[in-house]
């Protein structure tokens, strides 16, 4: 389905429309997709370079799903500048968002796949993920973190848990934490 203009009719039901609309940029030509749901207005899925994603819209979406309440618009603006990001809109309202951080040669990390609660379980997250995967066919390893309830969803896209690896995090030490340890 890469590079097709689509009408979306509920879970997994698609119909191809006219030839795709080519959007130029540096690198392989990525295409816009249009989707429509029978019970909802038309949605559009496009990369950030095709249709800019407002930092405030991403922060609002994160809040709607309980993610990252302390992230600022300024931080999100930098993230949008540095990563490959894709959005899904219902008119001018961002209802889905996903992004990838990559070295563009060997590794890519899918950092977020977020869909507003009212739009979940309708295939929108699947379309966002598919578009991201289509943008990185040359990457040797794509990695992501997910909740255990989402493992079957990502396994459908070829991801597998790696029992030989352990997820480790190093959190930034905030100055007030240092003051307490003195």
Per-position DSSP letters for the chain, written without gaps between them: -TT--EEE-STT-EEE-SSPPEE--SSSPEE-EEEEETTEEEEEEEETTTSPPPHHHHHHHHHHTT--TT--HHHHHHHHHHSEEEEEEETTEEEEEEEEEE-SSSEEEEEEEEE-GGGTTSSHHHHHHHHHHHH-TT-SEEEE---GGGHHHHHTTT----TT------PPPPHHHHHHH-
As to burial, measured by CB atoms within 10 angstroms (0-12 exposed, 13-18 middle, 19+ buried), residue 106 is exposed
Query: How confident is residue 178, by pLDDT bands cut at 50, 70 and 90?
Result: low
User: Worst-scoring range by mean pLDDT, 91-95, 105-109, 163-167, 178-182?
Assistant: 178-182
Q: Is the whole-model pTM more than 0.75?
A: no
Higher pLDDT, 22 or 140: 140
149, two tokens: 């309830």
pLDDT tens readout for residues 52-62: 999 999 999 99
* Helices 55-64 and 73-82: angle between axes, nearest 10 degrees: 110
Average confidence (pLDDT) over 2-6: 34
pLDDT tens readout for residues 141-174: 999 988 889 999 999 999 998 888 888 888 888 6
Interatomic CA distance for residues 10 and 13, integer angstroms: 6
Per-residue confidence (pLDDT) for residue 38, from 0 to 100: 39
Per-residue confidence (pLDDT) for residue 181, from 0 to 100: 53
Per-residue confidence (pLDDT) for residue 14, from 0 to 100: 37
Per-residue confidence (pLDDT) for residue 179, from 0 to 100: 55
Where in the chain are the domains?
6-181
Query: How do beta strands 33-37 and 22-23 pair?
Result: unpaired
6-181 is classed CATH 3.40.630.30: yes
């Amino acid at each position: 389905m890469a590079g097709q203009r689509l009408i979306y009719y509920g879970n997994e039901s698609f119909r191809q429309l006219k030839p795709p609309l080519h959007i130029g940029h540096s690198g392989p030509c990525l295409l816009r997709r249009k989707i429509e749901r029978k019970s909802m207005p038309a949605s559009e899925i496009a990369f950030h370079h095709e249709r800019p994603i407002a930092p405030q819209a991403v922060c609002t979406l994160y809040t709607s799903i309980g993610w990252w309440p302390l992230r600022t618009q300024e931080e999100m603006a930098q993230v949008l500048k540095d990563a490959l990001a894709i959005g899904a809109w219902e008119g001018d309202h961002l209802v889905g968002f996903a992004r990838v951080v990559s070295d563009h040669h060997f590794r890519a990390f899918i950092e977020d796949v977020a869909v507003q609660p009212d739009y979940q379980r309708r295939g929108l997250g699947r379309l966002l993920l598919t578009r991201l995967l289509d943008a990185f066919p040359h990457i040797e390893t794509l990695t992501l973190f997910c909740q255990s309830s989402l493992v079957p969803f990502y396994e459908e896209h070829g991801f597998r848990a790696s029992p030989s690896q352990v997820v480790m995090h190093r959190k930034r030490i905030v100055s007030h934490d240092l003051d307490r340890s003195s």
